[in-house]
Structures are given as C-alpha cells and as structure tokens.
Structure 1
C-alpha cells in the first residue's frame, strides 16, 4: 500500500483525535493533531487564542500549521473542525494526502462535547443550534474534498479505525 498522508476532517465531536490515534496505530504511522500543534507553537490553548486573537487569528495559525504539517512525511493528521472554511486549506488537504471525512450527527456531537469547556464556539446557550449551523455550512466542504466518508455515530472508535485502514489498503 502506497500511503502518503491521511487527513481526518469532520465536525467537532466526530472522533478525529481518538480515531486518528487508533488509525495511526493500525497503519504504523505517526499521529499528529493540528490543534495540538497550534497550541505547542503558540504556547497557549485554543480558547485563549480565540479570546485574544479572535477566530480570524486562530484560522491564520491553523493555516500556517497545516502548511507545515502537510509537508511532513507520512502520518495520520487530525484537523480542527473549521479547517475546511478556507479554500487554501481545502486545496492543501486534497492535494497532499488522502482525506477521510468522519461524519456524525449533531445529536452525537452534543453528547460527545457537552462537558468540554475548551470549545470556544460552543460556549453559549444552545450548542446544538450552533453545531447544526456549522454542519450546514461545513458538510458540503468536507464532502467536496473527501476521498472517503465514514460514519462514526454509535460506533466503536477502534472499529472505525479498522474500517478506515481496510479502505486505505484497497486504494
């Protein structure tokens, strides 16, 4: 199997980090997370970056991190949910690796993110409405660049990782 890089895209709560780590083990590749990379480069967590620099500042850092990460050797990369909002990011993802869209329902997202206080976009009265609005905008963008779409609702992360590894083995 001639693997380049595997980029996991999808909404927050889809399981990109959890499934990404398991998939990296399955494929015997290093695992990277674009949000962790941004935090390491900045020396601050994502909520702080949003507070100080706003979403635009965070998106600039995200594009810079993606540019650097996508040039590295083979890996599994979990990306932030909003990475597809910039055309240049979509171009980089599609051109430099295999893109797997981890699709999930808003209901699952709410369940998986309800106790997470490190998600700046969800710190409001109606997280489900925010998640639905984001999904309405981003789902077509995820699908546009995806080589594979894999549903994660009510599925064991290890089983999802094994399924993705099987898909990639047949590529």
Structure 2
C-alpha cells in the first residue's frame, strides 16, 4: 500500500470561488493521485449540449444550478475521482449534503485580490459580465464563505504555483483522513 492509497478511496470534491484553481489544481491533484478528473462545468455543458454562458442567457441561473446538482449527483455515484465543482455548487444544501456523504470536500481559499486578477483575464464567466471582478468576488465571499466553511478541509492557497497547492491539499487531506481513521 502506498501513502496515497487512503486518498483514493473517496471522491475528492474541490469547492471555492471562481479563479481559485479548482480545475487546474484538480487536474494536477488527480494526476498525482492517479485518479480520474472531472469538472462539473464541463460535465454540465456536455449534458446540456451548450455552454454555461448560453445556459445562463437562455435558461437562467436556476436552470444551470439544477443541471449542476443532477450532474454532481451522477458523478458521485461513480468510482473515486477528483471533482472540481462550480463556485456556486456547494451553496445548494442538497448538493452540499450529497458531497458530504459521498466525498471528501476541500475548500480552496485565496485572497480576493489574487482571484480578481485571475478572473479578470478572460470574459467567459457569466456572473462577471459587465461587472468589476473584485466587487463580485467580495459579494460572493460574503454569501458563500459560511457554506464553504462546512467543507471537510480548508487549504489557503495564496498566489503560489499549482504544484505547491497540490502538495498542500495532499498534506491536508492526509491529516484529515488520519484523524477520521482514529
């Protein structure tokens, strides 16, 4: 048994605000642990046959969130993986309960100024359309941080390279799972 074996027994669900690195860190974490990686945004787009921006524009955020909830429920029935969730997914009480029962959740947390700089680089995020990224992130943090705080593990990422964050996540998960095994 290698040291990563306990980390491969349950899905690892990454939660946090947009731009924190759930997808990019998630891919590298999955690679390090030899687990499959899934991104709920990509899965929702595939299931809906359209982009998230189109879903928001044509059907609204409520329809997107319902699709997201169904996709996450389906993914959590599959063998263990690293799952990058959308920033708002953990806000849904049903989704949060499902993740808590079937996965280990990790809140990736970074300074809002760092996140604003990252998300301001591209205009593909429907919640940012025509708005100041820092203002949006501050409002989201106020609403979402209490739910994110329910995650099993919190990792403060800072503005570091992804491989450093992956190491932080592995250490934090290992420590958490060790306390759960006692």
In structure 2, which of residues 161, 165, 175 is the aligned counterpart of residue 160 of structure 1?
165
Secondary structure of residue in 2 paired with 1:101? strand
Q: Does 1:149 align with 2:154?
A: yes
Per-residue deviation, residues 2-31 of structure 1 (Å, max 9, x unmatched): 321100000000000000001001111000
Which runs of 5 or more residues in structure 1 are unaligned? Answer: none
The CA distance in 1 between the partners of 2:167 and 2:64, in whole Å, is 32
TM-score (norm 1): 0.95
Map 1:90-129 → 2, pairs under 5 A = 90-129=96-135
Map 1:14-163 → 2, pairs under 5 A = 14-144=20-150, 146-163=151-168
The CA distance in 1 between the partners of 2:172 and 2:113, in whole Å, is 26
**Contact 2:153–2:173, Cα closer than 8 Å, also in 1:** no
Displaced runs of 4 or more, over 3 A: none
Q: Which of 1 and 2 has greater Rg?
A: 2
Q: State the Cα RMSD in Å.
A: 1.1
The CA distance in 2 between the partners of 1:33 and 1:116, in whole Å, is 18
C-alpha displacement at 1:81, in angstroms?
Answer: 0.1
TM-score (norm 2): 0.90
Q: How many residues align?
A: 170
C-alpha displacement at 1:154, in angstroms?
Answer: 1.2
Secondary structure of residue in 1 paired with 2:60? helix
Per-residue deviation, residues 135-169 of structure 1 (Å, max 9, x unmatched): 1100110111x111001121111111122123333
